[in-house]
Structure 1
Amino acid sequence: MSPSRQTTNRSNAARYGLARVLSKLGVCSRSQAEKAVREGRVSVDGRVVLDPEGPTDPERQRICLDGEAVVAAKRVYVALNKPRGVVVSAADERGRDTVYELLAASGLPWLGPVGRLDKASEGLLLLSNDSVWAAHLTDPRYHVDKTYHVQIDTIPAQTVLDQMILGVTDNGERLAAKRISLLRVGEKNAWLEVVLDEGRNRHIRRLLETQGIGVLRLIRVAIGDLALGDLAKGQWRHLSAEEAAGLHNK
């Protein structure tokens, strides 16, 4: 292969869609970047680009958003104790409270949620502007454990717990838990500890529903080795460099 052909290949390999580049630089989400590009708010080397998929090389081209040069944002990693009734969304068309209202006065840069918790669920939620780190934690290939404490409306037999570990089918989709154990038992209900190494939409609720079990509370208490600990409901904290690196190395 000629030297000129090699140079061309290296150049092409460094070019990504403009919206993806903005997201990877940590200045906004992919959807926010696409919107900004279509609105004519982004220029590359002084020329307004309206195509979010327009090939862009962030190392060789000057990108501006609203007239300001875009530089890679400092990577920020945050743990939040999400309260019940709050949605994981930057804006909600139905006017519901969002997790971003809990961060509004924090002075933090734009952060994206790393995975999801539905409105009725609570507990540990990670947010970051490091899209590569976030993608690693949510990629099913890496099987990062997520641990939940779940209050249910019955006292289950061990055979029922075993069945959910073996796996069930719900609407054509296989659902299973990596581990399930009884934490404590009351007169009419119980608490389970459920560990997942994959995350499907409403995974635990659907899994329990297949066994006729209803969920009273669902709290995520750990992701990998990172525990929710004593972080107060609605509060957040920065992850240490060691904590962030430890999760990425799972």
Structure 2
Amino acid sequence: MIRLNRYIANAGICSRRKADELITAGVVSVNGVVVNELGLKVDPMKDEIRYNGETLKREKNVYVLLNKPKDYITTTDDPQERRTVMHLVEKASRERIYPIGRLDRNTTGLLLMTNDGDLADKLSHPRSNITKLYHVELSKSLAQGDLNKLLFGRSWKTAR
């Protein structure tokens, strides 16, 4: 059993938050009954879920590894219309995928993109205690004072 908003998101229609809006708007039905209250759990193997009259099917899980180049924003949408990583993977999958984690615009590196919400949650949520390793190259020598700031828990932005 999973929450209805998650099922809708897994079908590639929209995010879970947007799915909540669709549910409260009364455009989602389960087994022929319109649902407009949040929190309902459905059985993906038994229940028939419809959105605007169309039966939804869960997407297969997709995983895309992207070597993110410099000058791309790690987001699914940018109101300032800058280039996003989504532009690089728009033909990689028919399913709606999204990045796990973030890399700064000027940062290059491996970025995992998926529609697997469980994996995304496990990899990104602090409760999972997943260790992340970063390889950093600097354009100048690191001053001892900056190194001390990093070693004692101050962020790099503070240490600059």
Q: Same fold (TM over 0.5)?
A: yes
Distance 2:23 2:111 in 1: 29
Aligned residues of 1:29 and 1:112 also touching (Cα < 8 A):
no
The letter for the 2-side match of 1:82 is K
Secondary structure of the 1:80 match is strand
Equivalent residue, structure 1, for 2:83: 97
CA distance in 2, matches of 1:146, 1:108: 31
Deviation at 1:82, TM superposition (A): 1.8
Deviation sequence 1:163-202 (CA, Å, 0-9, x none)? 412313xxxxxxxxxxxxxxxxxxxxxxxxxxxxxxxxxx
Query: Which letter does structure 1 place at the counterpart of 2:125?
Result: D
CA distance in 2, matches of 1:155, 1:57: 56
Q: Counterpart of 1:110? A: 96
Report the residue type matching 1:208 in the other structure.
W
C-alpha displacement of 1:119 = 2.8
| Correspondences of 1:38-77 after superposition (within 5 Å) | 38=24, 40-51=26-37, 53-59=38-44, 60-77=46-63
TM-score under structure 1 length normalisation: 0.54
Q: How does 1:139-150 map to 2 (within 5 A)?
A: 139-141=125-127, 142-150=129-137
Number of residue pairs aligned between Structure 1 and Structure 2: 157
Structure 1, unaligned stretches of length 5 or more? Answer: 1-13, 169-206, 214-250
* Structure 2 unaligned regions, length at least 5: none
RCO greater where, 1 or 2, for CA within 8 Å and sep 6 or more? 1
Q: Report what 1:210 is aligned to.
A: 158
Q: Is 1:31 matched with 2:22?
A: no
Alignment partner, residue 84 of structure 1:
70
TM-score w.r.t. structure 2 length?
A: 0.78
* Identity, % of aligned positions: 32
Q: Distance in 1 between matches of 2:53 and 2:133?
A: 41
Aligned Cα RMSD in Å?
A: 2.6
Pick one of 139, 142, 146 that aligns with 1:156. Answer: 142
Partner of 2:5: 19
Question: 1:76-125 deviations in whole A, cap 9, x for unaligned?
Answer: 11111222222223322222222212122234311121112233333211
Indicate if the aligned counterparts of 1:26 and 1:131 stay in contact, CA closer than 8 A.
Answer: no
